[in-house]
Amino acid sequence: MKILIPTILSTKNKVGVTEYLIGIIGSLQQIDKVNEYFLITTKENRHFFNLTNNNFHEIVVNIFDISRAILRLQYFLFSKFKIPSLIKKYKIDIIHEPCSWFINKKMNTIVTIHDVVEINNSKYSLLFNFLKQKMILSSIKYSSSIISVSGQTTKEIKKIADMDINTIHNGITSIKKEESEITYTVLKKYNLKPKQYFIFVGTILKHKNLLTLIEAFRRFNKTNNNYKLVLAGKEGNEIKNIQNFIKKWELEKQIVLTGYFNDNEKSSLIQNAISLLLVIVHFI
């Protein structure tokens, strides 16, 4: 079987979809020496994917990661006009879309759906939320098969359409233990001390309930002011509210916003934190 995997929606910054693709492509190379895989990469993201097997082939295309909106527009045009020709050229049997997308019902497509938040809740701007709704509904309606990454997502999809869904949980990536010199440099950069800070890792988005998290930390900090809170991740649509909260309560020395950071920093920051925090996603 010949399988096409587009990675175009994987940005030059290693966030959600990129991490998913790195994991699945790495794992497939370990377990599958029979099927042929054709990976569509861009000049800006191809360095994430280490293809070592002879049955994995790379197709590099010119797509530019200028902004989320422009990236999606480029992929929309690419999937509409270029992918059909690639399917014909390489005699592709099936496409695996790594996240919700506008599915061409004429193509045999498997899609991975990570969540369906936008169907009933505001996660982004009105326009982008509307487009995400259309992507999710298209993925559910026109794909040949659906992979869901959690039992909750599977349950939510079945509320929209009663169909068979493959629930395959995300894997776990091992955290590389960094050399003490690297760790010292990272902690010094953010003015942190080992085991004296909590850390949240993820893009700063509204639906992640981060204002509740930092309010809880603010109350904790009243009697435990030796600790800091690190929000480690790319700035998203909640960053202004977070910054305003920090300024209002004069928490500039207690709450650290790292912005996007590399793997070396991630390893050092997580390993030296007193606790890795997960938040309950908030829907409005």
Tokens (6 digits) for 48: 């994430």
Question: Angle CA(108)–CA(111)–CA(112) in degrees, nearest 5?
Answer: 160
Same domain, 121 and 24: yes
pLDDT tens sequence for the chain (284 residues): 999 999 999 988 888 899 999 999 999 999 999 999 999 999 999 999 999 999 999 999 998 888 878 899 999 999 999 999 999 999 999 999 999 999 999 999 999 999 998 887 766 778 888 999 999 999 999 999 999 999 999 999 999 998 889 999 998 776 666 667 778 899 999 999 999 999 999 989 888 889 999 999 999 999 999 999 999 999 988 999 999 999 999 999 999 999 998 888 988 999 999 999 987 654 44
Tokens (6 digits) for 44: 């800006």
In a domain, 281, yes or no: no
Cα 103 from Cα 76, distance rounded (Å):
10
What number of other Cβ atoms are within 10 A of residue 153's Cβ? 20
DSSP string, 191-248: T--TTSEEEEES-B-GGG-HHHHHHHHHHHHHH-TT-EEEEES-B-TTHHHHHHHHHH
The predicted-structure confidence for 53-80, as pLDDT tens digits, reads as follows: 999 999 999 988 888 788 999 999 999 9
Name residue 28's amino acid.
Answer: L
Residue 257 CA to chain centroid, in angstroms?
19
Cα–Cα distances (Å) from 133 to 72, 102, 108, 136, in that order, read: 14, 10, 21, 5
Query: Which residue is listed with tokens 């480029």?
Result: 74
In a domain, 125, yes or no: yes
Half-sphere exposure of 95 (CA within 13 A, CB side): 26
Cα 265 from Cα 135, distance rounded (Å):
34
Q: Is 152 helix (H, G, I), strand (E, B) or coil?
A: helix
Asked if residue 70 lies in contact with residue 7, where contact means CB atoms within 8 angstroms, the answer is no
CATH number, position 212:
3.40.50.2000
pTM of the model: 0.82
How many domains does the chain contain in total? 2
Phi, psi of 236 (to 5 degrees): -120, -155
In a domain, 156, yes or no: yes
Same domain, 150 and 245: no
Same domain, 53 and 10: yes
Same domain, 31 and 124: yes
Same domain, 131 and 212: no
Asked if residue 21 lies in contact with residue 99, where contact means CB atoms within 8 angstroms, the answer is no
Same domain, 127 and 51: yes
CA-nearest of 226, 234, 183, 213 to 277 is 213
Question: Angle CA(123)–CA(124)–CA(127) in degrees, nearest 5?
Answer: 125
Q: List, in sequence order, every beta strand (DSSP E) within the chain.
A: 2-6, 36-42, 56-61, 94-97, 109-113, 145-148, 166-167, 197-201, 228-232, 255-257, 275-276
Segments forming the whole domain that contains residue 211: 180-276
Task: Tell the burial category of 109 from Cβ atoms under 10 Å away from its Cβ (0-12, 13-18, 19+).
Answer: buried
CA dihedral 170, 136, 208, 13 (to 10 degrees): 70
